[in-house]
Amino acid sequence: MAPRKRKYDEADYADAIEDSSTRRKVTVHDVDEAGVRTSTHFIRRVNVPLSHTVAVPTTPRLSAPPELDAIQELEDALFTEDIEKGKEDELPKTQTQRRKLMEEYGVRFEQASYIIMGREAEKTIGQACACGRPDRKRLVRCLDCEQFPLVCEECWLSMHRYQPLHWAHVWNDSRGYFTRQDISTLGYRMTIGHSNDAVCSNGVNGPLNIADLNGIHATTVRYCKCDGEVDKWQKLMEIGFFPATVNDPQTVFTFRLLRHYQMTNLQSKTPTYQYMKTLRRLTDNVFTGNVPELIKQFTLVVRVWSFLEVQRRAGQLHDLDSRFPRRQKGSLVVYCPSCPEIDVNIEPGWESTPRHLRHLHQTRLTLDGNYQANHIAKRRQDALDGSLWHDSGYFELASRYNQLCGFEDMDKTEKSVCGHLNAINKQNRAKFKNTDISGIVNCQCDHIFVLASGNLNQGERFVAVDRVLARALALRPFDADAIPNFFISYDSVCSFCKKIPQRWELAHPELTKLIPHMRFIIPVCHCRNHVDSCEPLYLYTYKEGAGWFPAETAEMYWPVLNAVGAACRQMNLGPREEHINMSHGDWNWRKTVGMAQQLFKDLRDRKGIYVEKRDHFAALSLLFEDKVGTWNVLDRSPVVVNKKTVSSVYSHGNVKAPDLRSIFDEWKRSGEGETSGLRKISAVMAYLEAGLDIYLDQQEVMVLARKAEKPESEARFRQKQFRFIPSNLDVPHLDSTNSEPETEILHLPSDFSAEQRITLKLTTLAGKETVVIRKRLVKLVFRLRTVVRVYSEALLRKANNDRGQDLNTRANQQLSSIRADRDQLIDNYRWLRTKLEKLGASSEEWPQLSVADTYRKPTEQRRAPRTTRTKEGALWSLGLSRRKNDALPIGRIEGDSNQGQVMQENQADDEPKCDTDTFHYTGTKMTRSKQPDWNPDSGRGKTHAPVEVENAEARVKTDGWIWNPGQLQRMTGDGMKHWEETSNRVQWFRAEAEFERAREELEIKHAEFARCIRFFTFMRDRWMECAKSQTLPGHAAYAREHSDMYDALRLNAENKYGLCGIPILRHVPDEKTLADQVVLFREQEERYFHFDRMKGRPLFVDPTVHGSEIGFQDDREEDLEEEEE
């Protein structure tokens, strides 16, 4: 049936315009095919129309009965009021403020329109000019000047002698409006090479196109010849005009236009063509085709201007290179102020730093490829149009780079053995069809400074990555007898680093001395895509001295480079390289000026993380106090077995995993033997124990919402009660027999107030009850830990092994039982804690507990990204009292007045907003598709934990050997006990690794802050030396300006360092080094631990280091046999 045509009667139109004065509601009625009358309401006050339909059965009609209309109007009014009220409550604060501002402007829209329109004419048009000259009328104005009055032509020219590029708006009497004209149409000729105060009589006129911020001027200028033939190019440059050609220039661009374009292009990535198109439309937005097209000239001038700007800022015109003897001559690279550099910012005496403190002066680098910055292969390409940067930028000289990357073929057979890593295996893919450059590879420091770049051809060949890494390392050369450590991150590093000595011996023999000092890691998110054996070998958490280096910062620059790559994809190779170099330099400079603020944020954040990790590890050390002595002497170094398997204390290794049934049996066994009558206790304690047992039973009964007959235990309890509470006291219902069992009050001392306990002489008994409750809390916490551990392990078994309805149903029933037990224990803990508070005892040792506080990081799984920021629940530190010789909290050492609390400065920084520790890992499409999307429990009392127990245990899919069904074993009690001990050991070692990496990172940030301040100081002094040695006033002024700029950066860094630095690490006495202060700092912090952590602990040996005691070897079996002998 065809849709029915809409019909409206007078009542419909009346409803449609109802309340139109306030525009709060619009109602439209209609009749559908079934004869149902519908009403649609649009709420106009909330900007977005909100509709609601009320259907009223009726017959098709042209006019509705009055009763129906009345009912409909009442429904409309009620519904509209509810919708408006609800939507106003739901609006976020920012939207409400925006709407309020728009409402304030709304009443002035009409007024603003009249004011803007009124500027199209002037009231004083045609009146006599203020100059008083006869027949001089007010006909010309200037909109480029602020509040410029309407004047005559002579006055306008006189006032614009030094603003010749302002547009003259001349009133046209015949047409009745202002027309915009160039200054030359008024008879004025701008003189080039002669003072503007007087007209040059010995000159020649010539046309000139001048591009400025307000448009393109086709004007006429006068070249002065008072001193003979004039060099037009030089004279134009001297007055701030950049000629497009050298001989007889006809087009120039003002310096301010070039600066504006350069900043706009670097900041917003505006293409050159679009920028010039905008300039032409500013000149004439109607007949834009009549405006000269200057894109070719502008492209050439911009290239030259940008290169000259970079040279000037790098100090090449001041011979700044002579003050950096170790740097490459003519280098235009913007250096990182916090990375160590000999003779610039590294502290004297750093060579004597102990081995375990070498992280204070190490360099951390990242390598990564980008395939968005590719280049289209063109048939007609100017091969001679090379880069102006030559070999002084971030790219190596193209001819040498291409030659060196083409002579070596050894890496063509090197394929990655780890899954999902396709970067190396793309040589034969059709992905890079029609491209001669498939992308670029960058080397960056951990502060996200770009150090070197190289073009890629059909994938990431190791020889190309080697060239980029070698170029980055050559920026800061070190002596052979004083080489710091280098941490190098690359997503394919497990294959990349194995043959690096062979490759570098051929291609980079001068840098082979650095190889023994290289440590290799895989970025934390990419590590999930590698095989299990890669994690203990290449994850930063398990490497001594790595600090907190997740190494995912390599990709933070890619969004910027992606926009640059799209703009230069079809350029010639030379301009493309210049464009990318400019982007690298601008990014580095913005990071330089924001370095102090970034270090301030990082250091303040690392202090909080360090305290958290330190306290948690200390708590676990007390929790497993009987095992710590045995665990501490184990070797933390990973051991490669048969070149495939890696043994590490940070994983379960070959310990067999139990199945779900064994875990469920273990949970049932953990609840056995809970009665307190297994030991001999006094009558008073037995009485209190019995009372608490009854109360806890009442809690369970109330949770189950059922009643039970009064048990015999309660009757026996009443008989004992009269032994301790005299019967002649006025205590109501001591012998009550009618109350419900789950609500009956037992009148323990905690059931009375403090005054009543004194009156009833129950003070001594209250003290006994406090002791009993504390013992109960200890017992309950240990039981809860077991239940939580069992629950998390059972949840993993179900997520990874149970398939089908029958298995899932059985597993869900078992999980529900364990979860109910967990929740009941939490409720009992809260109840006992409340009892403790009623007795007036301190409950600081027993804080509030929720489901979120029971979170425990999984020990069976591989370490997940962002685990460093994830905090285990308070359950694992409950009841663990500190030792008396505890150190002071960090930040208050040596009388730190700010106590580590630093307020965030409210300032708008212009550095790139790339926080080095705020990346979020969501997994690849494959891993996300395999993750279970069910949540078996929403939990109760979840508060502040960063991740739920259920979600944390079931979120990440693990594909290691341990989840092979053949490895799951039905375990007995001894097997489960061994499994739990292994799980506890892994938990303790991982907590220790996180604590040590957090401590190292805290120390590294202090070293980086100190180097940053020394760098700014060094640059200030060097620029001042340049200023003093210059004879040209312009060069000297520029050098003094830069010296003051670096001095301001230094002061800013010192102020921020003073706010957030730890005094013992911030203040380094004379004749001392930072390493000496770190030793003192660690001695103070070690007081948190009840054992000597360094006693009997083996030295860490990294098997991935070439030239170490172990290193990469062809046959590991023979070495292992020799070590055993």
Which pLDDT belongs to residue 878? 58
pLDDT tens, position by position, 1000-1048: 999 999 999 999 999 999 999 999 999 999 889 999 999 999 999 999 9
Strands (E), 47-195: 53-57, 140-141, 168-172, 177-181, 190-192
Query: Quick check: 374 pLDDT over 80?
Result: yes
The position carrying tokens 């649609």 is 40
Average pLDDT over residues 843-861: 71
pLDDT of residue 957: 32
Most trustworthy range by pLDDT among 75-79, 426-430, 646-650? 646-650
Reply yes or no on whether the pLDDT at 943 is more than 80.
no
Where a domain ends, among 93, 124, 144? 93
**Which tops the pLDDT comparison, 689 or 401?**
401
State both tokens at 466: 């080697």
Whether 587 has a pLDDT exceeding 60, the answer reads: yes
Helix (H) or strand (E) holding 300: helix 295-313
Identify whether 128 is part of a domain. no
Report pLDDT for 830: 81
Residue 447 belongs to a domain: yes
pLDDT at 417 over 80: no
1109 part of a folded domain: no
Average pLDDT over residues 639-662: 71
How many CB atoms neighbour CB 157 within 10 A?
Answer: 17
Tell me: the pLDDT tens digits for 874-890?
665 655 544 434 444 45
Q: What's the mean pLDDT in 388-412?
A: 72
Given a cut of 60, is residue 440 above it in pLDDT? yes
Residue 877 neighbours by CB distance under 10 Å: 18
Q: Give the 3-state secondary structure of residue 914.
A: coil
Model confidence pLDDT, tens digit, residues 697-721:
666 655 554 444 445 555 565 555 5
* Lowest pLDDT segment from 546-555, 919-928, 969-978: 919-928
Q: Which residue has the higher pLDDT, 800 or 368?
A: 368
Mean pLDDT of the chain: 76
Whether residue 601 is predicted with pLDDT greater than 70 in this model: the reply is yes
Which region among 47-51, 526-530, 1082-1086, 1089-1093 has the lowest average model confidence (pLDDT)?
A: 47-51
- The candidate with the shortest Cα–Cα distance to 663, out of 1080, 903, 973, is 973
Here the tokens at position 584 are 């690298």
- pLDDT tens, 670-684? 554 444 333 444 555
Compute the distance between CA of residue 486 and CA of residue 507 in angstroms, rounded to an integer: 20
Residues 577 and 527 in one domain: yes
Verify that 683 and 573 share a domain, yes or no.
Answer: no
Per-residue pLDDT reduced to its tens digit, 2-40: 444 444 344 443 343 344 334 444 444 454 544 545 554
Domain boundary among 570, 595, 620: 595
DSSP-derived secondary structure letter, 151: B
Q: Look at residue 197 and tell me whether its pLDDT is greater than 70.
A: no
Residue 59 lies in a domain: yes
Residue 806 has pLDDT above 50, yes or no: yes
- Residue 398's pLDDT is 75
Kindly report which listed range (636-640, 932-936, 1013-1017) carries the lowest average pLDDT score.
932-936
Query: Is there a domain that residue 359 lies in?
Result: yes
- Whether 693 has a pLDDT exceeding 70, the answer reads no
- Please give the average per-residue pLDDT across 805-820, as a whole number: 76
- Are residues 801 and 950 both part of a single domain? yes
CA distances from 502 to 320, 518, 520 (A): 37, 15, 17
DSSP-derived 3-state class of residue 442: strand
Per-residue pLDDT for 919 more than 70? no
Max mean pLDDT among 304-308, 325-329, 980-984 falls in 304-308
Please tell me the pTM assigned to this model: 0.74
One domain for residues 307 and 354: no
Residue-level pLDDT at 718? 55
Which two three-digit tokens encode residue 549? 């280096």
Residue 828: what pLDDT? 81
- On whether both 302 and 399 belong to a single domain, the answer is no
Q: To which residue do tokens 């409803």 refer?
A: 15
Q: Which residues contact 685 (CB under 8 A, 6 or more apart)?
A: 768, 771, 772
pLDDT of residue 459: 74
In a domain, 546, yes or no: yes
- Asked whether residue 448 falls in the same domain as residue 522, the answer is yes
Convert the pLDDT of each residue in 40-52 to its tens digit.
444 444 343 333 3
91-122, pLDDT tens digit by residue? 455 567 888 888 888 889 999 999 999 999 99
Transcribe 775-810 into DSSP letters: HHHHHHHHHHHHHHHHHHHHHHHHHHH--SHHHHHH
In the structure, what pLDDT confidence band is assigned to residue 476 with cuts at 50, 70 and 90?
Answer: very high
H or E element at residue 832: helix 805-838
Q: Which of 595, 624, 643 is a domain's end point?
A: 595
- How far is it, in rounded angstroms, from Cα 469 to Cα 405? 13
What pLDDT score was predicted for residue 813?
A: 76
E runs forming strands in 32-124:
36-43, 53-57
Q: Is the pLDDT of residue 280 over 70?
A: yes
pLDDT at 817 over 70: yes
Residues 307 and 357 in one domain: no
Residue 568 has pLDDT above 60, yes or no: yes
Looking at the fold, whether 298 and 447 belong to one and the same domain comes out as no
**Whether residue 360 sits in one domain with residue 257:** no
Structure tokens at 619: 């708590």
pLDDT higher than 60, residue 723: no
State mean pLDDT over 944-957.
33
The pLDDT score that the predictor gives to residue 3 is 44
The domain total for the chain is 4
Q: Whole domain around residue 31: which residue ranges?
A: 10-93
The per-residue pLDDT for range 486-520, each reduced to its tens digit, is 999 998 888 888 889 988 988 889 999 999 999 99
**144 has pLDDT over 50:** yes
Phi-psi region of 876 (alpha: psi -120 to 50; beta: other; left: phi over 0): alpha
Q: Residues 937-959: what's their mean pLDDT?
A: 35
- Tell me the CB-side half-sphere exposure of residue 6, using CA atoms within 13 A: 8
Higher model confidence: residue 242 or residue 725?
242
Rounded CA-CA distance 554/448 in Å is: 7
Question: Which range, of 207-211, 405-409, 922-926, averages the lowest pLDDT?
Answer: 922-926
- 84 and 24 Cβ atoms separated by less than 8 Å: yes
Rounded to an integer, the average pLDDT of 1056-1079 is: 93
**Structural domain contains residue 545:** yes
Name the pLDDT band for 858 (thresholds 50, 70, 90): low
pLDDT of residue 498: 86
In the chain, the largest separation of any two C-alpha atoms, in whole Å, equals 129
Mean per-residue pLDDT for 732-755?
63
Helices 398-406 and 462-474 meet at what angle, rounded to 10?
130
CA distance 601 to 870: 19
Length of the chain: 1125
Share of residues in the chain with pLDDT > 70 (%): 67
Question: Both 368 and 307 in a single domain?
Answer: no
Residue-level pLDDT at 1012: 97
pLDDT at residue 397, rounded to an integer: 82
Structural domain contains residue 825: yes
Report pLDDT for 875.
60
Domain match, 65 and 205 both: no
Please give the residue that has the higher pLDDT: either 862 or 831.
831
pLDDT at 605 over 60: yes
Same domain, 306 and 371: no
